[in-house]
Amino acid sequence: MTKKPLQRVKHIPQRTCVGCREVLPKRQMIRVVRTEEGVRVDPTGKFAGRGAYLHDRRSCWERGLKGALGHALKTELRQDDRARLEEFMNNLPSELEAEGQAL
């Protein structure tokens, strides 16, 4: 009798949202990275620099922009960085819109 080869379980990297502290797979989060030019949203997840992760929920972004994001990136958010991130946040669906899509 021959043994069946065991299927290896694929490792899925986990990250913590700095807004709500929930742990989810990395691919479900939005990466924000600190670069020499300032703080940027990293859609590819491959920019060089210190990164932090947030959900695609406005509530998490609002909490993150209050201070948790700057603390995670070990930097002070400048006014232009904050404006760029708030613009991105305003394009995200609100919680009510997201719940409506899930139903």
Look up residue 57 and give its amino acid.
R
SS (H, E, C) the chain: CCCCCCCCCCCCCEEEECCCCCEEEHHHCEEEEEECCEEEEECCCCCCCEEEEECCCHHHHHHHHHHHHHHHHCCCCCHHHHHHHHHHHHCCCCHHHHHHHHC
Residues 4-55: pLDDT tens digits?
Answer: 777 888 899 999 999 999 999 999 999 999 999 999 999 888 999 999 999 9
The reported pLDDT for the residue numbered 101 is 56
**pTM here?**
0.82
pLDDT of residue 4: 74
pLDDT reported for residue 41: 95
> Is the pLDDT at 94 greater than 80, yes or no?
no
Q: What is the rounded radius of gyration, in angstroms, for the C-alpha atoms of the chain?
A: 17
In the chain, where the domains are located: 14-102
CATH fold of the domain at 14-102: Hypothetical Cytosolic Protein; Chain: A; (3.30.1230)
